Every structure is written in C-alpha cells, then in structure tokens.
Amino acid sequence: MPSLPKVAIIELGSQYTLLIERTLRELGVRSVILDPKRASLWLKKNPLKAVILSGGASSVYDENAPEPPTEVLSLMRQDGHQVAILGICYGMQWLAQHLGGEVKSMSGNREYGEAEINLGESCHRFFTNTPLQQKVWMSHGDSVVSGPKGFSVLGHTQTGTIAAMANGKIWGVQFHPEVTHTPHGKEILANFLQLAECERDWEPSSVVASIQDGAVSRLGDQRIIFGFSGGVDSTTLSAILAPVFKDRLLAVAIDGGHLRQGELDEIRQHATDAGVNLQIVDA
C-alpha cells in the first residue's frame, strides 16, 4: 500500500481548497485536506514535510474565525528539520497575527480580482522561474501591514499591500496561486514543494496500483463476482482488476428483457476489451 501524503492542507473556509489539492496532484504530489478542528490528531500521528493553510472569507479578528492547531508552527519532520508552511490569503494573515505581525481591516479598500505584484530587484527562491512583476488573483478584506519579526517582505501590490513574506521554512502569500487567474501560480507552488523537499509520489498509474493493492489485501485469493453493465464504471473497474484476479474474477450482466437492440453484443465486447470473463443471466 502507498504511504500517506506528506503534505496537509488545512481548510480554513476557502472556496479554492480543492484547487490547491488538484494543483499539487498535477505537480505529482499527493496531499490530504484536513478540517481545522480535527487536524491536531492527524498531524500528531502522521509524518509530514509541508502544511498549507488555505484562504478563507473570515477575518482573523472574527469571534469564531477558523484556526488551524497552533502546533503547526512547531511541527518537525522525521529527520528533525522544520515542516514547511505556506499560508495563502487568510492563512498568511493567521500566520502574521500569531507570530507577532500586524493585520488590519481593509474596509473600503478590499482587493478582489486581478492585481499586479512587484517582487523588487532580486527574486526569492520561492518565486524562481517567475517574473519580478506578475499578475495574481486577490480576494481579501484584511491585509498584513507589518510582518512578524524575522520575516522578509518579498513583494507588494501596486496599492502597497504586502503580497508575500518569508522566514526560514515559513512563507505567506496574500494572493491565490492555486487559481488559473494567477498565471505563474503553479510554478510558485512547485517552488514551495521543492523548498519543502517534497518528492513526487503521485501519477495516474499509481491510482490503478492503489486500487489493485487494496482489492488484493481485502479479498485475498477469493473468487469475485460483480455486476457488469458495460458502462464506463464497470468496464474501467474490470480492466483494473482483471490483471490481478484473472480467472477468479467473474462479471455478471442481467438481461431483464429491456435492453436496447444490440446492447448485449456491446456488453460482451466491452467485457472482452476489459479482459474479464462475462456471464449473461436471464431475469
């Protein structure tokens, strides 16, 4: 069975959280999405290399604002090095507030939509392979107006908002790198994964291997009978399991007299293409 993901995404109310997970997967790295109230136990039990704090619509000053467990700030990897942290939008504001920076409301000056950030004359490794001036997607009502002690400001927007900050293994960005409206967002997330020393652990074929390994571990050397409609789902599952179980796998299709003309022939052909034995049963 594959090992658990080495990246945890803590969901803090963002509409884009699934996009973070999908973008990491496109970069070849698996991740797990955790509810902030249940994250503490998972973080204690499972080794990680990186934590991403999502954005969200709340203010860090709201009474019931979502909060990740504070231990994310002191998590250590198995090799004794600090777990890398990336705070996105609200996640960056939470980091700033809890580490001694200052966050203020942008009432009347909320930034939403396309913005341009300036990274200055020298580009931090977090922005490797991206331009010093680039378009990003903003969505925030509060802003970090003063970074915590020890943090470097990596860039500003045209309005003077702090767009990114960093200190050691902790990074924060006020914009959303996971959305397509941030053209260089995928490169930025790739840089974060590299700085966090996250190895590629996902590719489409690994999903197939995971399903096969899981089926074998549960079913062992038993014979398997399952319903086969000839549709996409049953045909795909057959193609995945047939190489593992071979003659012990039997697909059953039921002819209840309501099939379209020629549909039985299609079902037989799909079973043949999937490499699975098929039995037609009259209802």
The catalytic residues are: 89, 176, 178
Q: Is residue 225 classed as helix, strand or coil in its secondary structure?
A: strand
Question: In sequence order, what are the residues at sequence separation of 6 or more whose Cβ sits closer than 8 angstroms to the Cβ of residue 108?
Answer: none
* Bridge partners, 52 (sequence order): 9, 86
User: Please, what is the Cα angle at 64 between 63 and 70, to 5 degrees?
Assistant: 100
> Measuring CA to CA, which residue among 265, 258, 263, 267 is closest to residue 227?
267
Could you tell me if 177 and 154 are in contact, meaning their C-beta atoms sit under 8 angstroms apart? Answer: no
Question: In sequence order, what are the residues at sequence separation of 6 or more whose Cβ sits closer than 8 angstroms to the Cβ of residue 51?
Answer: 7, 8, 9, 10, 43, 68, 72, 75, 83, 84, 85, 86
Distance, in Å, from the CA atom of 84 to the CA atom of 50, rounded to the nearest integer, reads 5
Distance, in Å, from the CA atom of 146 to the CA atom of 273, rounded to the nearest integer, reads 62
Distance, in Å, from the CA atom of 11 to the CA atom of 34, rounded to the nearest integer, reads 6
* Bridge partners, 170 (sequence order): 85, 167
Could you tell me if 15 and 38 are in contact, meaning their C-beta atoms sit under 8 angstroms apart? Answer: no
Question: In sequence order, what are the residues at sequence separation of 6 or more whose Cβ sits closer than 8 angstroms to the Cβ of residue 260?
Answer: none
Could you tell me if 150 and 167 are in contact, meaning their C-beta atoms sit under 8 angstroms apart? Answer: yes
